Amino acid sequence: MAPEEKSHSQPVRAWSWSSIPLDLAGLVLRLLRSYANRARFAAVWFARGGTVVAEKKPNLQPPALSWSSIPLDLAGLVLRLLPAHADRARFASVCLQWRAAARQQLLPRPLPLLALPDGTFYSLPYTKPFRFPGCGFAGYQSACGSWLVFPRDDGCFLVDPFSRETVTLPPLSSVRLRPPNAVAKWSYEHGAKVADPYVTWMHMKDSDKLHISKLVVCSPNLVAALVGIGYTSQILMCQPGALSWSVRAYDRCKRFEDMSFYQGKLYALTKGENLLVVNISDDHCTGDPQVSRIGQVIKGDPWYSIAFTNNAMLCKKLYLVESCGALLMVRRTIVCRIPEPGLYSEAVAGWSAFEVFKADFEHSRWISVSTVGANQVLFLGRRCSRAVSLSQYGVLGDQISFLDDDEENRMEYGYDKENASFGTYDIRSGGFSSVHPEISWKRCDEMRLAAWLFPHD
């Protein structure tokens, strides 16, 4: 008799329903609110190989059904009830069919992730940090939506840690000037060299402190950035994959606070609460995008940092964010204390207050509003801000979650706490809370650039 041939292929593991992790099964059951859906899940669980059936009838061999046999409509119902990106990723990793179901479903946005510059991430609402497998993602300089921005000597590149997609951007040393023969103009006052008549891109383009403070991916063919030194910056733009940025060389650099792409147009917000619209055209020779004109849409009624006689000082931060079809300006007032009179640099940040204004384009003004939407939560950060609807997860709206993500060279105050975190402000009650005291990180130079990250799904 001929000897049996030995197969060198690995046996395929026959997953049964009894092998589903109990914590995931419990999570599914807790998310199914109706009795009918819970009964359906329990019937599928026990009738198709659950442990109770196997223990009562050990001689009966239940069919080895795969994970893919779960009804797709039930899989979609479960997915829609999972608010955390980590849970959706676990769900999609079970089998190919579940992964396909996750891609096919029209799902509400999940909660954002909190990214830290050392490559640590938090998938809200969980408090346990994690890292993406295979790549550290440490050392990013900015964030936009689902993109992390990494600087390099030969350029910048964007990485989406969820899809692993990568987009290249030009280096800041490669900027196409308009006009191409532009030069810096200087004058001397009291023996000191000063920009004449004001600071332009030409006066700061060669500084080794030049960096991207804000980046907006407007479309697959357009990226805009605020680039500058400290408080002063200029608007640059490029096409992904291009060899150079474009800049209006003689435009006055401003103290830009934020920038947002809203209803097909790019808007920038200054420290004086002026809203500017950035008109964009294509270069006739290269076809690359360029700033054709910057116009003022709304003139603000600003106030700047104010010091009082009782050793207190008011500072502010401004954010631009779209919510429910409206463009909002959020003014965050930070009440600081000065330990000793006259020591402005020693100001210590205390509690904050928030005011929200809607852009009234018809009358060119900001209108104070008392709500951002009953189902909307604003996630505010210096790098990226978004409004997310979370009512389907039982999360109340009219909330603002904010980061203390000041850049070192843009700070008017310090902190007396060693650790940083994020807080939540209730617009209706005016109350504050620390959502997860367990989520915190050291308040040091390397960790200032904490950012919200928003998955696509």
What pLDDT band is residue 349 in, cutting at 50, 70 and 90? Answer: confident
With 0-12 / 13-18 / 19 or more C-beta atoms within 10 angstroms meaning exposed / middle / buried, residue 145 is middle
Backbone angles phi, psi at 212, to 5 degrees: -85, 120
Domain ranges of the chain: 70-107, 114-143+303-452, 170-301
Note the pLDDT of residue 16: 46
Tell which wins on pLDDT, 444 or 159.
Answer: 159
Note the pLDDT of residue 68: 60
pLDDT at 304 over 90: no
What pLDDT band is residue 422 in, cutting at 50, 70 and 90? Answer: confident
Summarize pLDDT for 361-404 with one digit per residue, the tens.
999 999 999 999 888 999 999 899 999 988 777 778 899 999 88
d(CA 210, CA 435): 35
Q: Which residues pair with 176 in a beta bridge?
A: 246
- Provide mean pLDDT across the span 135-162: 87
In 3D, which of 78, 162, 85, 65 has the Cα closest to residue 125? Answer: 85
Summarize pLDDT for 18-67 with one digit per residue, the tens.
555 566 666 666 656 555 556 656 655 554 444 433 333 344 444 555 55
What pLDDT band is residue 2 in, cutting at 50, 70 and 90? Answer: very low
Q: Which of 42-51, 299-308, 434-443 is most confident?
A: 299-308
Task: List CB contacts of 47: < 8 A, sequence separation 6 or more.
Answer: 53
Note the pLDDT of residue 396: 82
DSSP per-residue string spanning 389-413 = E-GGGT--SSEEEEE----GGG-S-
Q: What percent of the chain has pLDDT over 70?
A: 76
Q: Which of 20-29, 251-260, 442-451 has the lowest mean pLDDT?
A: 20-29
pTM for the whole structure? 0.80
Note the pLDDT of residue 144: 94
What pLDDT band is residue 74 in, cutting at 50, 70 and 90? Answer: confident
Summarize pLDDT for 86-129 with one digit per residue, the tens.
777 777 776 666 666 666 667 777 889 999 888 889 888 888 88
Residue 417, number of CB atoms within 10 A of its CB: 12
Output the average pLDDT for the chain.
Answer: 81
